[in-house]
Amino acid sequence: MAGIFEQQRNAGTLFLGGQKISGADIRDQNVLATQAIANVVKSSFGPSGLDKMMVDDIGEVTVTNDGATILSLLSVEHPAGKILVDLAHQQDKEVGDGTTSVVLIAAELLKRANELVKMRIHPTTIITGYRLALREAVRYMTENISTKVETLGRESLMNIARTSMSSKIIGGDSEFFSNMVVDAITSVKTTNARGEVKYPVKAVNVLKAHGKSATESLLIKGYALNCTVASQAMKTRVTDARIAVLDMNLQKERMKMGVNVVIDDPAQLEKIRERESSMVIERVEMILKAGANVIFTTKGIDDLCLKHFVEKGAMAIRRCKKEDLRRIARATGAQMVSTLADLNGDEVFDKANLGQAEEVVQERISDDELILVKGPKVHTAASIILRGANEYSLDEMERSVHDSLSAVKRTLESGRIVPGGGAVETALHIYLEEWATSVGSREQLAIAAFASALLVVPTTLAVNAAKDSSELIAQLRSRHALSQRTSDPIPHPHKGPSDHNTPPPATKTSEADAKALAKAKGYKNYGLDLTRGKVHDTLKAGVVEPTMSKVKQLKSAVEACVAIMRIDTLIKLDPEVRGDPNDGHGH
């Protein structure tokens, strides 16, 4: 009997009908799941990263090396794995770039934490240590590594865009595309009610057109729509446009499904048909009377209405995407109208619903006709038309351009940049390793583990570039250690200045010493040069990233790691077995 209970306890079976896994087993499982997810995206990280081909259950193919896209296409069963997938999405939504690195850091932190748990260190201690390390890392990064760029010159923005796209498909033409991205994002500058300057990425519409080469992509001032005018007889250019944005059908009114009209005189049938036609004509006249000369709608427009629009010299565009119309409404100051009925049940169309733009024109760009809304009244807009060989490369180009736009937007809004190429992670690694020794409590081990985990970024960069990672990381560490030793001590806000940071007593320095000191201080921006397999000053080389991206990466990675660390039991209920109710066993 005792043997049965022993078996049940080992198998983790509950009396509920399910399975219970706890302690070391579940932690190992969680680490395995997160490592598996990190390994999927690991080889796509950095400028020499490789692409992944994802094929879904219906055979749809996606070729990409964007971390968030890869993870969103995976079907992840394990709950801890899902946390990492959400993490990449969050990073993509908030910053737009750095999705792969955030997953790598989180998985590495979790792996180190699990090793500490096996050394009999309580998860709560590790979590406290990680949070301490994170706070100190963010403080050190903003005070010592981050550079405030007062007037962000065009060159800084170009560098940000170049760095963002260096690992993407358009990396080869980064000069061309970074120009385009910077022009696009600076042209949509807006100031909100609180006086804050914003650069909405959504105001840049990215369209894809097959054919030609990537460098024949275009940037157009104004909002471009992949539509054409509804009738060939219409004008293709309207200046001083007053725009009506509709989400309704401009087609002959038909009786709803299931509505029957019983008549006893055939002449009445004709009257009903006439009324059906006149209802929609009245609506069209109402919209035109309000002063609209350009009409966009998400639904259809029938020939009867088109004839009306042509006669009045108005431009009508049908079957537009709702998302596009929302953006046009925002840019021109229009209101999207989904019904003409007012509160009393009468049909009216108010002038206030119209938006304004300098002109709306249909132009032939490459092989396609496009509608361009130029000079919208409320917000400026820009459109990028990407050219490329096939669907897959165009999709990947669109993702790459979106990441670059987001990176430049974040830099413009926060105005702070940090060196790329693994420089930040190495600097934080050296600093936190040193700082851990000043923490006189058991959290010291967790802080040291956090410091080691950060090295996963430069290591993966070097490995993916087919370089000797041990050699390069050793060089990076020695440079950063030297730069931090020669820099002035930073008194800790909580601990007071630590003894080991005290500089030696001042002595007269020779000119050679002064030069060496200045050089050592400059080492703090050193990162990897992956093309030549050396270490160099990444700030001078123009490999830079927005500070916000790095801060968010660390914060999100720690939060995800903590969420998974807290789990010590997994209870999985068996699916309910639905059998034949007449069967005695219920199976």
CATH classification at residue 441: 1.10.560.10
pLDDT tens for residues 43-57?
988 888 888 898 988
Is 318 part of a structural domain of the chain? yes
* Domain end call among 356, 379, 402: 379
Give CA–CA dist 166/172, Å, rounded: 8
Is 392 part of a structural domain of the chain? no
AA identity, residue 555: K
pLDDT tens for residues 407-420?
888 888 888 888 88
Is 186 part of a structural domain of the chain? no
Is 368 part of a structural domain of the chain? yes
* 228 & 375 share domain: yes
Domain ranges, residue 240: 223-379
pLDDT tens for residues 153-169?
778 888 888 888 887 88
Lowest-confidence segment of 90-94, 191-195, 244-248 by average pLDDT: 191-195
Kindly report the pTM of this predicted structure.
Answer: 0.79
pLDDT tens for residues 202-222?
888 888 888 788 888 888 888
* 476 & 372 share domain: no
Q: In this predicted structure, what is the pLDDT of residue 493?
A: 45
Most confident of 117-131, 355-369, 536-550: 117-131
Token pair, residue 514, equals 């002064």
* 277 & 355 share domain: yes
* 444 & 363 share domain: no
- DSSP bridge partners of 374: 359
Q: How confident is the model at residue 507 (pLDDT cuts 50, 70, 90)?
A: very low
Give CA–CA dist 301/316, Å, rounded: 8
Q: In this predicted structure, what is the pLDDT of residue 134?
A: 94
Is 433 part of a structural domain of the chain? yes
Give CA–CA dist 444/446, Å, rounded: 6
The separation between CA 463 and the C-alpha centre of its own chain, rounded to angstroms, equals 25
Is 401 part of a structural domain of the chain? no
pLDDT above 70: residue 513: no
pLDDT above 50: residue 294: yes
Q: In this predicted structure, what is the pLDDT of residue 196?
A: 79
> What value does the mean pLDDT take over residues 465-492?
79
What is the DSSP secondary structure assignment for residue 312, as one 8-state letter?
A: T
* 439 & 528 share domain: yes
Q: In this predicted structure, what is the pLDDT of residue 449?
A: 93
Which residues fall within 8 angstroms of residue 246, CB to CB, at 6 or more apart? 287, 295, 296, 297, 298, 299, 336, 337, 338
pLDDT above 60: residue 261: yes
* Domain end call among 379, 408, 433: 379
Q: In this predicted structure, what is the pLDDT of residue 453?
A: 93
* 135 & 60 share domain: yes
pLDDT above 90: residue 128: yes
* 466 & 357 share domain: no
Q: How confident is the model at residue 450 (pLDDT cuts 50, 70, 90)?
A: very high
**Cα-based angle 410, 457, 86 (whole degrees, multiple of 5):** 60
Give CA–CA dist 14/493, Å, rounded: 50
Q: How confident is the model at residue 495 (pLDDT cuts 50, 70, 90)?
A: very low
Which H or E element spans position 265?
none
pLDDT above 90: residue 136: yes
Strands (E), 141-262: 147-148, 190-191, 197-198, 204-210, 218-221, 223-225, 237-246
* 332 & 449 share domain: no
Looking at the 3D structure of the chain, how many domains does it have?
2
* 247 & 337 share domain: yes
Give CA–CA dist 368/492, Å, rounded: 61
Residues acting as catalytic residues: 66, 99-100, 403
* 355 & 241 share domain: yes
pLDDT above 70: residue 488: no
- The answer to whether 20 and 570 are in contact (CB under 8 A) is yes
Is 583 part of a structural domain of the chain? no
Q: In this predicted structure, what is the pLDDT of residue 145?
A: 86
pLDDT above 60: residue 377: yes
CATH at 341? 3.50.7.10
pLDDT above 90: residue 126: yes
> What value does the mean pLDDT take over residues 272-299?
81
* 236 & 140 share domain: no
* 20 & 118 share domain: yes
Phi, psi (5° rounding) for residue 64? -155, 160
Cα dist. 355→292, 320, 337 in Å?
9, 16, 12
Is 163 part of a structural domain of the chain? no
